Structure 1
Amino acid sequence: MANVVVVGAQWGDEGKGKIVDWLSEKADVVVRFQGGHNAGHTLVIDGVTYKLSLLPSGVVRPGKLSIIGNGVVVDPHALADEIARLKEQGVELTPETLKVADNATLILSVHRELDALREGSTEGTRIGTTKRGIGPAYEDKVGRRAIRLRDLANLPTLGPKIDRMLSHHNALRRGFGLPELTHEAIYEELSSAAPKVLPYVEATWELLDERARAGDRILFEGAQGALLDVDHGTYPFVTSSNTTAGQAATGSGLGPRAIGYVLGIAKAYTTRVGEGPFPTELTDEIGRRLGERGHEFGTVTGRPRRCGWLDAVALRQTGRISGIDGIALTKLDVLDGLDEIKVCVAYELDGQTINRLPASQGAQSRIRPVYETIEGWKGATAGARSWADLPAQAVKYVRRVEELIDCPIALVSTSPERADTILVADPFED
């Protein structure tokens, strides 16, 4: 059986949480490999809603090992709060069922404050972040001044590391006209976090290697979407990590041979949160209808998502960049009742037709979608669990999407409920 990587194939919010939860029934280990607590997953199981932002979606299933990998940046207080919140809902998390990589980078209050300062400074510099410190934490990581989870086990030795970090951040704070942070304040913040998270800390790369060698099935869970990848997304309106499938290897500590099947998650339409280009965005009544029917509000922030038609050009491109083997098409039911549905099949840029999303920020802002119109359907797809339950025209829509993105549809999701899923090809068996 193949280990499976699940990645978002659009701008995030594609419904990865439900699909990961659905797949985790066959998995032994579920690994989150990048991002931070800016990315939210909503799971609806037997009518109960679970909102996750940092924990892997597999935590709601008993008997599974959940791992937060080294590619994730971890706010220790946010992690402790999320564990406590899930325990109140009856989800029991222990150091035996949840492991956090000892070499994962910490998010501290200085990162959150810097994130908010940048987003609130001037209109032209806003990226549309969640202001949770994810970007500044990744900056410290690549700048080699980060404090990592394992450091919390050796607090008395942290003096030089704190000073190195503050030499950078206090210079920035002076530029913003803010008072400098003291060594003592950072030390106290780290001291208060240590007992909350240290019981879960382990060399997870070693544990994953052992489980892989033992034949356990591993499910790798990404956050955000491929169009927010720091290299391949709509830069600079992207997240601060690699969100494509290749990061599953680096962000977990397992080599690329551990990756078997790559499952991309895409909505039957397109949404985006925050700033940046969105070629198929709809600001009319249909866009509002998609947002209302799809309950398009951010899991973490509650921000309304921008909505538009399916962008087959961008989806085909992310499929190739991530090496996607199959697509899980979600929220097909949101399109129920529309007389016609449009799909972007090309772009027009400066009078020329192109078939890829350009890398240039300027070009991305100038492209215009070229649409193909597809007949809608009057019947309901909501709750469908087999092809026979779908209106004929809905099946035609799914098949046409397959052709346009040059990638097979492996799953179709027709509601937030775990069981409302049509299985075409099992990623673990493929």
Structure 2
Amino acid sequence: MPNVVVIGAQWGDEGKGKVVDLYAGEAEAVVRFQGGNNAGHTLVVEGEKIILHLIPSGILHPDTVCCIGNGVVVDPQVLLQEIDGLRAKGRWPGDDALVVSGAAHVILPCHRELDKAREGRAGRAQIGTTGRGIGPCYEDKASRKGVRVADLLEPEALLPKLEALLDERNALLRHLGAPPFDPRAVWEELCAAGERIRPFVGDVTGRLHRWTREGRKVLLEGAQGTLLDIDHGTYPFVTSSNTTAGAACTGTGLPPRDLHAAVGITKAYVTRVGAGPFPTELHDAMGDRLRERGGEFGSTTGRPRRCGWLDLVALRSACRMNGLTGLAVTKLDVLEGIDPIRVCTAYRLDGERVDHVPARAEDLERCEPVYEELAGWTEPLAGARSPEDLPANARAFLDHVAEATGCPVVLASVGPGREQTVEFANPFTLCD
């Protein structure tokens, strides 16, 4: 049985939570492999809205084991709040359903404060960070000063690590005009959280290797989106981790040969939160319509998302970088009643046609989209459950996306509910 990776193919917020939730019904394990609680997944199950930031979406399936891999940065308080929240809703399947890698790095209070202080100081040069401390935590990981989940279980060894780390971080916080942190107070908070997290800490990598040998179906869940990748995204307006399919290996310990399929999630249009270039952004009534009909407000920050037409240049790039074997197109229903529908097929940069995403954000900012117009439809899609239920023009839109990207559409979402889905192919059975 295959291991399937689910990746955001745009600037995040593509609807990965719903797609992972759908595929988790078949998978025996769902694994988060990068990012932190800067990513929010909104699910609607039986009419109830559930927002998760750290725990994989598969937690809503009682027979699925959810794992948080070594590539994730974990805020202990957020993790515990999510566990408590699911318990309060009667949605917690039991402690055996969650495994957290001891090698995952821990977001500390100083990381959050540093994140906010930097953004506040940046003024108009802000990149739009969520202020959750993700970047500073990855910095400490790269500089080999970080605290890991396993450290929370060893209080005596933890305190000197915190003292060394905070000696440097407090100096920077003071420089930025932010208050410093008392190492012992932070230590006490982390020790208390560690005792509550202890039952969930385990060897995620070892489990994944065993499950792969046993032929179990494993779903690997990414956060954010391809265009926010620290190396391949619109740098510097990116996140602090690798968001592409390759991170599924480094963030879990699985080798590349054990990734059998990759599904990229894309909206039928494009959104972006925060600063950075966005060639197809709409600053008119159509942009407002997409935002209102699509409910385009961040599940983590509540910020309104910037909206624009589908960018096939960027989507082709995402398909190549991730080796996508299928596309899941979400929010197709939001395009109902729009005629014509525009899609960007190329850019113009300094008068010349460009068929790729420029490496420099400054160049992408100057790109003008070249549009192609497609016929729209007026028929409601909410009740569609099979490809035959879709209007001809909606099918033609999906066919155009597949042809333009060279990647088949395997799923289309026609509403927020779990059941409001049209499946063309199943990524698990395709690889059997």
Q: Aligning the two structures, in what range does the TM-score lie when normalised by the shorter sequence?
A: over 0.9
How much is the aligned-residue C-alpha RMSD, in angstroms? Answer: 1.1
Give, in whole Å, the separation in 1 of the partners of 2:383 and 2:251. Answer: 35
Equivalent AA in structure 2 for residue 365 of structure 1: E
Equivalent residue runs for 1:29-428 within 5 Å: 29-428=29-428
Give, in whole Å, the separation in 1 of the partners of 2:392 and 2:119. Answer: 47
Equivalent AA in structure 2 for residue 163 of structure 1: E
Deviations 1:331-378 (A, max 9, x none): 100000012110000001111110111111211211111111111111
Question: Partner of 1:5 in structure 2?
Answer: 5
The Cα shift of 1:160 comes to 3.0
Equivalent AA in structure 2 for residue 144 of structure 1: R
Equivalent AA in structure 1 for residue 315 of structure 2: L
Deviations 1:115-169 (A, max 9, x none): 1111111324311011011111111111111000001111111233113212320
Give, in whole Å, the separation in 2 of the partners of 1:129 and 1:383. Answer: 37
TM-score (structure 2 length as normaliser) = 0.97
Query: Size of the alignment, in residue pairs?
Result: 430
Equivalent AA in structure 1 for residue 29 of structure 2: V
Equivalent position SS for 1:99: strand
Equivalent AA in structure 2 for residue 125 of structure 1: A
Displaced runs of 4 or more, over 4 A = none
Equivalent AA in structure 1 for residue 130 of structure 2: T
Identity across the alignment (%): 53
Give, in whole Å, the separation in 1 of the partners of 2:127 and 2:402. Answer: 32
Give, in whole Å, the separation in 1 of the partners of 2:99 and 2:112. Answer: 24
User: 1:76 touches 1:196 (CA, 8 Å); kept in 2?
Assistant: no
Structure 1 segments unaligned to the other structure (5+ residues):
none
The Cα shift of 1:276 comes to 0.6
User: 1:11 touches 1:272 (CA, 8 Å); kept in 2?
Assistant: yes
Equivalent AA in structure 2 for residue 364 of structure 1: L
Give, in whole Å, the separation in 2 of the partners of 1:196 and 1:258. Answer: 33
The Cα shift of 1:382 comes to 2.1
Equivalent position SS for 1:113: helix
User: 2:39 touches 2:300 (CA, 8 Å); kept in 1?
Assistant: yes
Equivalent position SS for 1:243: coil
Equivalent position SS for 1:7: strand
TM-score (structure 1 length as normaliser) = 0.98
User: 2:273 touches 2:303 (CA, 8 Å); kept in 1?
Assistant: yes
User: 2:75 touches 2:108 (CA, 8 Å); kept in 1?
Assistant: yes
